[in-house]
Amino acid sequence: MTSLRLLVDAEVGRAVENWLRSAGHGVASVRERDPRMPDPEVLAWAAAEARVVLTMDKDFGELVFRDGAAHAGVLLLRLEDADSAEKVRAVQAIVGSFAHELPGQFCVFQDGQLRIR
């Protein structure tokens, strides 16, 4: 399996962070550094460290596509009502099948499907 460098946004949660770390991925956590960090700073931090942002915040789409912000990849989880276990299962499935395609891309996971742009 491809090892990823990820920056996990605050709302994704500790369970996903813990699973990613246990699976051997390089994880930095917005929640651990500053849970109120503004999205542009999150994106800049991830870009500077070549990390894919793992988020549930749709504002990253505007930053990337409208504002042209630099990024090293974004994985947007559209799992608004999911509990921690559901988020972990979704991330396991995505990483297990698509880890090599995530860096540098803007990806959206919704309704069991991953779109890569």
All structural domains of the chain with their residue ranges? 5-116
Indicate the SS3 state at residue 21.
helix
Amino acid at 26: G
Written as six digits, the tokens of 35 are: 């849970």
What pLDDT, in 10s, does the model give residues 27-53? 999 999 999 999 999 999 999 999 999
Cα 75 to Cα 106: distance, rounded to the nearest angstrom: 6
Handedness of CA 48, 51, 52, 58 (dihedral sign): negative
**pLDDT exceeds 90 at position 117:** no
Rounded to the nearest integer, the mean pLDDT of the chain is 95
Which stretches does DSSP call E strand in the chain?
A: 5-8, 26-29, 52-55, 74-77, 106-110, 113-116
**pLDDT exceeds 90 at position 80:** no
Q: Which CATH number fits domain 5-116: 1.10.1740, 1.20.1070, 1.20.58, 3.40.50?
A: 3.40.50
With 0.85 as the threshold, say if the pTM is over it.
yes
The stretch 3-18 carries a mean pLDDT of 96
> 103 — phi, psi (to 5°)?
-60, 130
Q: For residue 1, what pLDDT band results from cuts at 50, 70 and 90?
A: low
Residue 111 pLDDT:
92
What pLDDT, in 10s, does the model give residues 49-67? 999 999 999 999 999 999 9
Residue 2 pLDDT:
74
| 6 neighbors 26 (Cβ within 8 angstroms) | yes
Cα 9 to Cα 62: distance, rounded to the nearest angstrom: 16
